[in-house]
């Protein structure tokens, strides 16, 4: 998650105090990992330094934080290009799991057992995410869905790899 870009995006919606930014970030994006205040202000400081936001006058009132942050044209342009640019479709061709499978075969170890353990680990996590979906709100559900679909894709890869292990073993042995 890109914290600077997210805070910038929240500021494009409306000028806000650091406290409000943290609250909105935690509500929608942090999911159990609240953004520390220190990180909020450090990030805002960097955004201001780079000319993407400006810091308003200190407002009169009680409480520690009365500064309002406002996005600049430059900041808004950056948000726009970040939103419109597709996220890289990571090919993940050299995953740790792939390396483990090939090494296991090279070393004559039980690759299928390792993959079974990985499958079980993935399924445990999928059970947890499903439970979050069943008991959570819509934001929880959508985030859990994202994790579930990715884990499911990994599982399809694991199943296909198990089906190809004999062929892969032969290929690895020939080299």
Partner 1 sequence: MTAIEARDVTLSFGETPALRGATVSVASGGIVAVMGPSGSGKSTLLHCLAGILVPDSGEIHFEGRRIDTLSETERSALRRDRFGFVFQFGQLVPELSAEENIALPLLLSGVKRGEALARARVWFDRLDLGGLNARRSGELSGGQAQRVALARGMVARPEVLCADEPTGALDSLTGEQVMELLVTSAREQGTTVVLVTHEPRVAAYADREVIVRDGKVNSLSTVAGPG
| Residues in contact with partner 1 by the rule CB under 8 A | 109-110, 113-114, 116-117, 119-124, 126-127, 129-130, 134, 148-149, 151-152, 155, 159, 163
Least separation, in Å, of the C-beta of 111 and partner 1?
10
If you search the block for the tokens 């597709």, which residue do you land on? 86
CB of 175 to partner 1, least distance (A): 21
- Partner residues linked to 69 by β-bridges: 16, 55
Distance, CA of 44 to CA of 54 (rounded, Å)? 9
Q: Which is nearer to partner 1, 40 or 144 (CB)?
A: 144
In the complex with partner 1, which residue's Cβ is closer, 73 or 149?
A: 149
In terms of CB distance, is 80 or 113 closer to partner 1?
113
Residue with tokens 């296991």: 104
Least distance (Å) between residue 142 CB and partner 1:
12
How near is the Cβ of 144 to partner 1 at its closest, in Å? Answer: 10
* Distance in angstroms (rounded) separating the CA atoms of residues 61 and 90: 48
Phi-psi category of residue 109: left, alpha or beta, with phi > 0 → left and psi -120 to 50 → alpha: beta
User: 8: how many CB neighbours lie within 10 A of its CB?
Assistant: 24
- Closer residue to partner 1 (CB): 48 or 148: 148
Report, in Å, the least distance between residue 119 CB and partner 1: 6
User: Please, which residue, 92 or 121, has the CB nearer to partner 1?
Assistant: 121
Question: In sequence order, what DSSP letters do the residues of 71-140 get, joined into one string?
Answer: E-HHHHHHHHHHHHSPPP----TT-HHHHHHHHHHHTT--HHHHHHHHHHHHHHHHHHHHHHHHHS-HHH
């Amino acid at each position: 998650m890109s914290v600077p870009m997210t805070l910038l995006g929240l500021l494009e919606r409306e000028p806000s105090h650091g406290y409000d930014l943290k609250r909105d970030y935690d509500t929608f994006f942090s999911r159990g990992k609240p953004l520390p205040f220190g990180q909020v202000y450090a990030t805002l400081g960097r955004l201001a330094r780079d000319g993407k936001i400006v810091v308003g006058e200190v407002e009169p009132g009680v409480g520690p934080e009365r500064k309002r942050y406002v996005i600049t044209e430059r900041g808004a342009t950056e948000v726009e290009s970040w939103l419109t640019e597709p996220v890289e479709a990571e090919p993940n061709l050299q995953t740790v799991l792939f390396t483990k499978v090939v090494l296991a075969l090279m070393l004559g170890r039980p690759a299928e057992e390792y993959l079974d353990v990985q499958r079980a680990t993935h399924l445990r996590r999928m059970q947890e995410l499903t439970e979050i979906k069943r008991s959570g709100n819509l934001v929880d559900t959508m985030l859990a869905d994202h994790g579930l679909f990715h884990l499911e894709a990994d599982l399809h890869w694991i199943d296909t790899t198990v089906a190809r292990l004999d062929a892969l073993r032969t290929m690895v042995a020939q080299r």
